[in-house]
Amino acid sequence: MALFAKKKPVGDASQKKSLGRGVFRRCDGCAETLKAEDFTANLEVCPNCGHHYRLSAEAWVQYLIDPGSWTEHDEGLRSLDPLHFVDSSPYPERLASSIKKSGVNDAFMAGSGTMGGRPVQLGCFVFRFMGGSMGSVVGEKITRMMERGAERKQPVILLSASGGARMQEGALSLMQMAKTVAALGLLREAGMPFISVLLNPTTGGVAASFALLGDVNIAEPRALIGFTGPRVIENTIRQTLPDGFQRSEFLMDHGMLDVIAERHDMRATIARTLDHLLD
């Protein structure tokens, strides 16, 4: 009989280390450690300093759209692999993995609903699906959303959070820039407004096409917005960029945005904008 068999003490360090996992979160903005549920209840905004974390597309729909009025469109669309693209893994494998992990078929969610009783078309990028990259399916969903807005005489609200064009689809992805902007032209011909909401990050081909073409461009605080990242620009031009370059506040100062809205004010800001443009 092992009289001196080692037993793990009740207060073992490994137990202590895992005790708070998932219960507490350390804010990237103020470095304070708070309850994770406090972030969730506060729309993923730090209650202490106001730092904005990414909010899921589903949570945006729940926040912006009147309860019970949401109908999602085109959710069954899936990307193909016309280029037979392979990098570290074949594109179909990447798609299958992203679908499994994210629970959605691609990087954009679009649907109809009401906001304060007003019928609207709403679209949100799903950043957890391949970084919100824009491929053929994303472009098709945005195009159909613009067309529905034109046909039904309803405003379109689009929330962008994207790393840009999806490289696995090559030129077919880049073509979505022109395709979506052409569809936006149909909405304008119908006399319906386009409200563009720029979240963190809004970059690449998304920023270079429809995202900055809103009748009103609204952004969240400190969102990264631009065609390419600041490090790439600095390495290219070999100059140090100004503080806050490509952040919402910088773009606001240089006339590329109309409003910067805190997340808790976003619904009211969009509603007031629509009232002004339509009533």
Bridge partners of 45, per DSSP, are: 52
Does residue 18 lie within any of the structural domains? no
pLDDT tens for the chain, residues 1 to 279: 454 454 544 454 444 444 455 799 999 999 999 999 999 999 999 999 999 999 999 999 999 999 999 999 999 999 999 999 999 999 999 999 999 999 999 999 999 999 999 999 999 999 999 999 999 999 999 999 999 999 999 999 999 999 999 999 999 999 999 999 999 999 999 999 999 999 999 999 999 999 999 999 999 999 999 998 888 899 999 999 898 999 999 999 999 999 999 999 999 999 999 999 998
- Could you give the CA distance from residue 99 to residue 106 in angstroms, rounded to a whole number? 7
- Could you give the CA distance from residue 70 to residue 63 in angstroms, rounded to a whole number? 11
C-alpha torsion angle, residues 35, 41, 46, 51 (rounded to 10):
140
Instruction: Count the domains in the chain.
Output: 1
Beta-carbon contacts of residue 150 (< 8 Å; ≥ 6 apart): 186, 187, 189, 190, 192
Does residue 7 lie within any of the structural domains? no
Does residue 13 lie within any of the structural domains? no
Does residue 124 lie within any of the structural domains? yes
- Could you give the CA distance from residue 10 to residue 32 in angstroms, rounded to a whole number? 29
User: Taking the chain, what is the end-to-end CA distance rounded to the nearest angstrom?
Assistant: 86
Q: Which amino acid is at 122?
A: L
- Could you give the CA distance from residue 160 to residue 89 in angstroms, rounded to a whole number? 27
Strands (E), 108-215: 108-115, 118-125, 156-162, 194-203
Residue carrying structure tokens 């945006």:
60
Does residue 186 lie within any of the structural domains? yes
Q: What range does the domain containing 209 cover? A: 56-278
CATH code where residue 118 lies: 3.90.226.10
Nearest to 100 by CA among 130, 55, 140: 130
Does residue 12 lie within any of the structural domains? no
In this structure, what are the phi and psi dihedrals at residue 209, rounded to the nearest 5 degrees?
Answer: -125, -105
DSSP designation for 259: E
DSSP designation for 133: -
Q: Which amino acid is at 215?
A: D
Does residue 163 lie within any of the structural domains? yes
Does residue 103 lie within any of the structural domains? yes
